[in-house]
Structure 1
Amino acid sequence: MDNERAVVGKLVFHGTANIFISFFCGAMIAAAAMGQIDSQKQDWVLAHMESLINGMMLFIVAGFIGKLAMSAKSQLIAVYCLIDMAYCNTIFGIGRGATGALGYEFNDNLANNITALAGQIGVPLAVVAFLLIGLAAWRTR
């Protein structure tokens, strides 16, 4: 029971952190729209939505992960993959908002490369996490 509470606590804490980051990005949408900062509004909308959706996803997983037939090791791997994925996606969005870098491919621009790396690391982390969760759901059914 203590392990399940710790896992849920980790997911909810990092989900909350991502939600607060989305609040900041929401303020940046307004600043970009009013011309107070030199950024594109749509880049900050992406950053806002990345943080918001990933935070909510961590909350959702916290609600059911303890009910799946998962070993403690698989559960821990899935949880940290999800948390890391959420922050990678958040960094991707903020990188786009703060620098205007597209981050879809690597080039000679450092800001773009950091944005691209964050975006590309998040994908395999999500695949690992949801593969483990899907297999556990299959076993639990």
Structure 2
Amino acid sequence: MTERMQYHLVLHGVAVFMIGLVAGFPLAFVETGVELWGVTLPLIGHWEIPGSIARWKMTHLEGIINGIMCLAVAGIGARLAMGARLAGFVTVAVIVTAWVNTVASLSGALFGGRGLDYGLGTNNDINYNLFIVGIVLVPLAAGAIGFAAWRRLRAG
């Protein structure tokens, strides 16, 4: 894995991680019932934080966990026995997975829809499709990382 790929993983990982951290604020407000954001905004009017505790917990954790995944892959990437194409695939797959999981979770918290089944409304269907991308990519990336580690171990 090239240094440039590692930096891309770090930058995207930090961005996704920060989204997860920021999602902790509405989680706290929804969970405690504090209406800190229940204010009148210019051109919008009265606004309260949408979503349930479960949706905000998921958004909070998806951002943090997927951000850490990007950072972990960046940290070990150069030590793995990967060619340029495999390293490129792993980099893109991990970054895309981090973003689709985080965006789908945030969308679910803000607009509703869990994304667990298809045909339950537009936002739910969008979330479902985003999660499917991550569900397909993350095992492929994990398998590629495991294979590259195994090759490195065998090479001595």
TM-score, normalising length: structure 1: 0.92
* Residue 122 (structure 2) pairs with residue 110 (structure 1): yes
| 1:1-141 correspondence runs (5 A) | 4-33=2-31, 34=33, 36-141=48-153
Instruction: Measure how far apart 1:108 and its partner are.
Output: 4.9
The percent of aligned pairs where both chains have the same amino acid is: 29
Q: Which of the two has higher C-alpha Rg?
A: 2
**Whole-Å Cα distance in 1 between the matches of residues 29 and 126 of structure 2?**
24
Aligned partners of 2:97 and 2:137 also within 8 Å: yes
Separation of aligned partners in 2, 1:7 and 1:38? 37
Count of matched residue positions in the alignment of Structure 1 and Structure 2: 139
What are structure 2's unaligned runs of at least 5 residues? 36-47
Partner of 2:2: helix, strand, or coil? helix
Using the TM superposition, give the Cα deviation of residue 23 of structure 1 relative to its aligned residue in structure 2, in angstroms: 2.1
What are the ranges of 5 or more consecutive residues in structure 1 without an aligned counterpart?
A: none
Structure 1 residue 30 displacement after superposition: 2.1
TM-score, length-scaled by structure 2: 0.84
In structure 1, distance between residues paired with 2:90 and 2:29: 36
Alpha-carbon distance between aligned partners in 1 of 2:80 and 2:59, rounded to the nearest angstrom: 31
SS state at 2:88 partner? helix
Greater helix content: 1
What is the CA deviation profile of residues 19-56 of structure 1, one whole-angstrom value per residue up to 9, with x for unaligned ones?
A: 11112211121232225423201110101100100001
| Contact map agreement 2:10 2:71 (CA 8 A) in 1 | yes
Note the alpha carbon deviations across 1:38-96, whole angstroms, 9 max, x for none: 32011101011001000011111111111111101100101100000001110221122
SS of 2:116's equivalent in the other structure is: coil
